[in-house]
Copies of this chain bind each other. A is one copy, B any other.
Amino acid sequence: MSETYRGVGETMPVKVAINGYGTIGKRVADAVRQQDDMEIVGVVKRRPTFEAKDAMREGFPFYAAAQENVPDLEKAGIRVDGLLPELLDKADIVIDCTPKKADYKSLYEKHNVKAIWQGGEKHELTGLSFNAMSNYEEAIGKQFARVVSCNTTGLCRTLYPVQEKFGIDNVVAVMIRRAADPWDTKNGPINAIEPIVKVPSHHGPDVQTVMKGLNIQTTAVKVPTTLMHLHSVVVKLKSTPTSQEVIDVWSKTPRVLFFSTADGIKSTAQVMEWAKDVGRKRGDLFEIAVWKDGVHIVGDTLYYYQAIHQESDVIPENIDCIRAMCEIETDKFKSMEKTDRGMGMIKE
């Protein structure tokens, strides 16, 4: 941990390290740079891919995961500023974006640095799973936390305010999952639909790590597309609001955006086009996309569709989680607003 860190009331920017500069890591690095109360002290990468070169171009101090990675990195023209352990001594908090199989927890403990893992890890690793809207307060001052996965984040963002306002009896959500990220050309299927025969899928129990006691069942299928996940959600409510009342609640919910087929936004493809048009770096959509004309109340049951940008919706959650763990801000709404303003999110 950095020597300058003093905890609550800290006025120096929090020093953030990124372990793993890939899909999530590079986005968290960008987002940290857009905030004035935190800064990147270094990023860690093993291999000299185009993403390593991107880190260099962005001007981030570059650390190798281990000495054995240094020769290959340097041969590819990358300037290595040190190794992971040195970086941990300079950082207040490390964002672990390494693949699931990597295990750095004891190293982080040894260097007395706070750490945030991503949703690929199990809840048990930290005992604390995080979603800003649902349980920001739980993370305040903690050493270790896990930001829940993209799908779980999406479910929490829309279900939490519905639970607060109308009460939820039970939820059935079907996840139609993109099979690979746009850059991932190894994985298929090219032309098939694959059911995840385990029921419930891991998403339901994962939601319950942050929304304790919610009655939710989830199933999942994998489909041959790369852009976004899509959820078909059915919620039995404890009250009987109109569709408009539900829409009104989400209109005020941070990180939930409405789209409409009437505007030509008929699928995940046009949602992504919209995100490109508004000028988001990488065409990212940090918000959950809800189809306004897909929100229906039938009796006491709410039906809606939402799309999840798997590469980016958890990024603002990481920022908020840093704030909570480092005790920069104790009010979740203030943190979210600061995060969102820095990241250029629009709430029309």
- The chain A residues found within 8 Å of chain B, CB to CB, are 26, 48-51, 53-54, 57, 76, 172, 174, 176, 178-180, 182-195, 197, 199-200, 217, 219, 221-228, 230, 232, 234, 259, 261, 263-270, 272-274, 276-279, 281-283, 291, 293-294, 296, 298, 301, 303, 305, 307
Contact = CB atoms under 8 A, between A and B. Distances in A.
Given A174-B232, A217-B301, A217-B303, A267 B192 contact: yes
A180 B188 CA distance: 9
Contacts of A227: 182, 191-193
Contact of A223 (B48, B57, B224, B278): B224
A183 B217 contact: no
Nearest to A272: B182
18 contacts: A49-B263, A50-B263, A50-B277, A54-B274, A174-B174, A180-B188, A183-B269, A184-B189, A185-B189, A185-B194, A186-B188, A192-B227, A193-B225, A197-B261, A217-B303, A219-B234, A224-B224, A276-B281
B199 A294 contact: yes
B281 A192 contact: no
A221 B306 CA distance: 11
B293 A197 contact: yes
Q: By CB atoms of chain B within 10 A, which of A51, A54, A267, A283 has the most?
A: A267
A267 B195 contact: yes
Contacts of A230: 193, 195, 221
Secondary structure dominating the interface of A: mixed
Given A54-B278, A195-B232, A226-B269, 8 more contacts: A54-B274, A57-B278, A172-B172, A174-B174, A183-B269, A183-B272, A185-B267, A192-B227
Contacts of A264: 49-51
A266 to B, nearest CB: 6
Contacts of A279: 281-282
A190 B180 contact: yes
A269 to B, nearest CB: 4
Given A184-B188, A274-B50, A283-B276, A221 B176 contact: yes
